[in-house]
Amino acid sequence: MIPSLRVYGLLILGTAIGLGIAVVGQDLTGSPLLTAAIGFVLIWDGLVLLLALLDSQWVKAQRVTIERLPIDRLSIGRENLIELKLHTGDRAARLQIRDHYPPSFQVSPELLQVVLPAHHQETLSYRVFPDHRGEYNWGAIQVRQLGAWGLAWHNWRIPQAQPVAVYPDLLGLRSLSIRLALQNTGSIKRSQRLGMGTEFSELREYSTGDDPRLIDWKATARRSRLLLRVLEPEQEQTLIVLLDSGRLMRTRVRGIERFDWGLNALLSLALAGLHRGDRVGIGVFDRQLHTWVPPERGKAQLSHLIERVTPLRPTGLEPDYVNAVTQVTSQQTRRALVVLITDLIDRTASAELLSAMACLTPRYLPFCVTLRDPAVDAQSQLPTPDVTSGYRRAVALDLLSQRQVALETLKQKGVLVLDAPADQMTDPLVDRYLHLKSRGRL
C-alpha cells in the first residue's frame, strides 16, 4: 500500500483538530485537554490508515490488465515506439505505469499516467532512443492503481520479461524503400526520369516540356509523329561499399558512434543499389578486411548484409586502406563503383587513404565518403567574446581548412568525394549514387 496525498491531508487535518481540542480546553477549563486531544488524534489517524489499507486491498479485485505489445527490432539513433495495451474492469481506474526498459536508453515519457473509465480498452505508448546496438532485456511492468476512495495506491508488478535486439537504422531503411518504390512506380513525375541513364527502355510520344535531344528522328519519320526515347539506368552493375571500423570511427557524433552512422549509410546505399538492380557487396576493415560479403543481387542480399554487420564494433586500430582496397580488387575484377566510408583529418594524416583511393583509378570508379562532425562546423561559426572561445574557433577553422585540402587532393586524383555531417549522410549519399546511375558513370 502506498498512501495518497489525500491520506496525508486527512492526517494533518486530524492533528489540527486535536490541537483545536487542546486549545478550546485551555480556554474553558484553564488547563489543556491533552488526553482527549491525543486520543482523538490517535483514533482519527488509525481510522484514516485503516480506510486507506482497505481502499488499497479492494483494488486487487479490480486490477487493470496490462500487456506490452511484442517489440520488433529496434533502430539505433531513432525514437522507437513501445506500446502497452490496457483493459479496465467494472470500475474506472487512475493509473501510474513505469515500464522496466534498459536503463541506458533515453525514454520519453518515463512515467505514464492515465485515467480510464470502466470496461474500457486503451493503448498507451512511449518512445525509447537507443544509442548502442546489441541485445537488451525488458523487465516487468510496474503499476500503481488508485483506490476508489482515493486514499491509497495499490502497487504491483506484471512479469513481461522480453529480450530485444537493437539493429542499425531499420526505420530509415523502411522509409528509403518506400521512397525508391514510389520512384520506380512513377508516383514521382516521370518527366524527372526521362533521359536519365544509358539503357533504352521504350518509345513514347513527345509532349510539351520534354527534352528535344531525346527525339528519335528515325522512328518519327517512320510513324509521322514525334517519338521520344526513354532511357533508364543500366542494370546489373556492381557496387562495393567499404566501411572503416578503425580508431576515428569510435568517436561519437550526436551521441552515436561515427561507425554506426557509417553503418546506417552503408545499408541505405546497399538498399538503393539492390533496388536499382545492381550487384552489391560490402567489406568492413581495420588493419585487415575482417568482414567481406561478395556482391549479389536480390532482396535476400539486404537481409544477409544486415545480419552480418549488426554484431560488428569499431576497434582502436589504425585502418589499413591500401590492404583493404588490394583485397577487394583481387576479388572483384570487373569494373565497379567502390565506395569507402571513413573520416579524415588532414592531407598528411590521411596520406594512406589518398594513395589507396588513387590506386582504384581508372579501372574502378572510386568514391570517398567522409563523415564530418557537425560540432566542429558549429564551433567554427560561434562568436568569440573571450580568448578561450577565440582559440576554440581558430582550432575548428584550421581543422576544416586542412580537411578541405585533403578532399581537394582526392578530387585531383579522379576520386569522387562526398563530405557531409555524419548524422545527415544517408540522404545525400543515396542521391549521389542515383545521380551517378542516371548519368551512366558506372
232 by DSSP, 3-state: which? strand
- Asked whether residue 239 carries a pLDDT value surpassing 50, the answer given is yes
Residue 310 has pLDDT above 90, yes or no: yes
Band of residue 191 on the pLDDT scale cut at 50, 70, 90? very low
Are 280 and 336 in contact, with CB atoms under 8 Å apart? no
Domain ranges of the chain: 2-61, 62-167, 199-232, 238-438
What are the phi and psi torsion angles at 85 (to 5°)?
-105, 125
The model's confidence at residue 175, banded by pLDDT at 50, 70 and 90, is very high
pLDDT (0 to 100) of residue 207: 77
Q: How much is the mean pLDDT over the chain?
A: 88
3.90.1170.40, 3.40.50.410, 3.30.70.240, 3.20.20.140: which CATH number matches 238-438?
A: 3.40.50.410
pLDDT of residue 62: 85
> For residue 184, is pLDDT > 90?
no
Phi, psi of 344 (to 5 degrees): -135, 165
Return the pLDDT at 29: 58
Rg (CA), the chain: 33
23's grid cell: 486549545
Question: Exposure pattern of 335-358 as b/e (b: 16+ CB <10 Å)?
Answer: ebbbbbbbbbeebeebeebbebbb
Q: What is the dihedral of CA 271, 275, 277, 278, to 10 degrees?
A: -20
- Give just the sign of the alpha carbon dihedral 244, 246, 249, 250: positive
Q: Is the CB of residue 113 less than 8 Å from the CB of residue 95?
A: yes
The whole-number pLDDT of residue 424 equals 93
- pLDDT above 70 for 31: no
Confidence of residue 21 (pLDDT cuts 50, 70, 90): confident
Does position 115 have pLDDT exceeding 60, yes or no?
A: yes
Per-residue pLDDT tens over the stretch 259-302:
999 999 999 999 999 998 899 999 999 999 999 999 999 989 99
Report pLDDT digits (tens) over 34-87. 788 888 889 999 999 999 999 888 888 889 999 999 998 999 999 999 999 999
- Report DSSP letters for 237-302, one per residue: -EEEEEEE-SGGGGSEETTEEHHHHHHHHHHHHHHHHHHTT-EEEEEEESSSEEEEEEEE-SHHHH
Q: How much is the average pLDDT of 97-118?
A: 94
Q: What pLDDT score was predicted for residue 151?
A: 92
Q: What is the pLDDT of residues 244-257, one digit of tens each?
A: 999 999 999 999 99
pTM of the model: 0.81
CATH hierarchy code of domain 62-167: 2.60.40.10
Percent over 90 (pLDDT), the chain = 58
Phi-psi region of 19 (alpha: psi -120 to 50; beta: other; left: phi over 0): alpha
